[in-house]
Amino acid sequence: MITELAFPALLVGGGLAFEQIVSPSRVLFGNISDSWPIKGRKRTPYILLGSAAFCLLAVLSIPIIFETEKALNQGSFSSITFSIISLCSLFALYGLAISMATTPYLALIIDLTQEKERSKAVGIIWCMLTIGIIVGAISISIATKNLDGITNTLLLQTTLQKFMINVSAIIFFIVLFACWGIEPKNKELSTKGKKSNNEVGLSMAWSLITSSKQIFIFFSFLIFYTLGLFLQDPILESFGAEVFNLPISKTTLLNAYWGIGTLIGLLLGGLIIIPRIGKFYSAKLGCWLIALSLGLLIISGSIQNNHLLFTVLFIFGISAGIATNSALSLMLDLTMPEVAGTFVGVWGLAQALSRAMGKVFGGGLLDIGRSFSNQANSLPAFSFVFSIEIIIILIAIVILDKVSVSKFRKETSTKMESLFMAELDN
C-alpha cells in the first residue's frame, strides 16, 4: 500500500489502526465468553465464529484496497472519502472478528492449564503463532516473486486476491481442526444466556483497571511495551524497499527473519531463560535487547548492508520472543481464573490500544520525519521513528520495575470482591 500503490503512510497506519481501535470489544467478548456459553462451551464457539468472520473480511480487503487506490488517483473528493471510510470500516470489522476469536482463545489457555505450566504453554502457543507468521511471509514471497518491478495494479490485484482466498480457506479449516474436542462440554453451563454472578461489564472493567495501582501499572507496561515493539510494524517493509532498494519478494522476507528469531526467542524464554532468572528479569532482558536491536537497525541503514539488516531483524525477533514470552507469562499470572475472560480482555485491550497507536504513530512519524529530511534520502525519516521506539521501550522497562505479583493479587482480590458486591447490589 505504501510503496507499490503510493498510499500516504499516515493513511495506511490510520486504516490499519482501526483493527485495534475497536479493542474495547476484547473486554466485551471476554465477558460474553465467561457468561454466555453456547451448547455447554464457553470458548470454542466464539473462536469459530470470530475466525469465520476474519477470514471472510481478509478476502474482502483486497478489492477495497485497490478501489481506494483508484479513488486516490482519480482525485474525486466524494470517491476518496467513501473509499477511505470503507477501508477503515473493513479493518474495524476485522478487529472485532479478531477480538471475538482471540480473547476466548487466551481464556481457554487459563481454563486448561495450571499456573506452573503456563510459561511453557505460552512458549509453545506463541511458537506456533510465529511459525504461522514465518510460513505466511515465505508464502507471500513465493506468491509475489513474479510481481517484482511490475506496476500493473490489475495484475497485482488478481494475484493477491487469489492468494488471499486460498490462505483464508486453509486458515479456517485449520481452526476447525484445532477446536475439535479441545474444550470439554459442561452440561451445567446454561445455554440460555444466563449471566454469571461474577460478570464484569465494560464500564466496570475500566473501573477495575483504575481501582488498583498494580493493575494500572501492569496495564501501562503492556501499552508501552507493545507500542515499543510494534511502532515499526507499518513501515518495516517500506524501510527495506526505500533504504535498501529491496523488491517485494525480498521485503516480505523481513517478517520471516523476524519471525524465525521470535520463534527461537520464545523457546529460549520459556524453556531456559525464564526458569533460570524469572519472568521479571527475562522481560527486562528482552526489552533491553529490543532497544539494542533498534539501534542496530539504524546503523544497518546508514551503511546500507543488506546482510546486516536481515541479521538485525533476526536478533530483534529473538529479543521480542524473550520479552513476549515473559510478558505473557506475567499477564496470565496476573489473571484471576474465575473471571479469566474478562481479565484477558483487559490485558488484550492494553495491547490492542498500543498496537493501534503503533500503526497510526508509525505512519505519522514517518511522514513527519520525511517533512524534515531530504526527500532523496529516506533513512533519516525511518531513523526518527526507530529512535522514538527506543525511548518508548526504555519507559516500559522503568514501569516494569514497579510491578509486584504479590501486591497485585492482594489488591486485586479485594477490589474484585468490592466490584462483585456492587454488581449484586445493583
User: Domain segments of the chain: what residues?
Assistant: 9-181+204-425
At residue 426, the pLDDT reads 45
Cell of 117: 505450566
- Name residues of the chain where pLDDT drops below 70: 115, 118-119, 122-123, 146-151, 187-211, 332, 334-349, 352, 375, 405, 408-426
At residue 339, the pLDDT reads 56
At residue 349, the pLDDT reads 67
At residue 172, the pLDDT reads 94
Cell of 212: 488498583
CATH topology of domain 9-181+204-425: Growth Hormone; Chain: A; (1.20.1250)
Between CA 382 and CA 255 the distance in angstroms is 17
What does the buried/exposed string (b/e) look like for 224-251 if buried means 16 or more CB atoms within 10 Å of the residue's CB?
Answer: bbbbbbbbbbbbbbbbbbbbbebebbbb
Average pLDDT, the chain: 79
E runs forming strands in 242-383: none
Cell of 285: 532482558
DSSP element (H, E) containing 328? helix 306-333
pLDDT digit string, tens, across residues 357-399 = 777 788 788 888 888 877 678 889 899 999 999 999 999 999 9
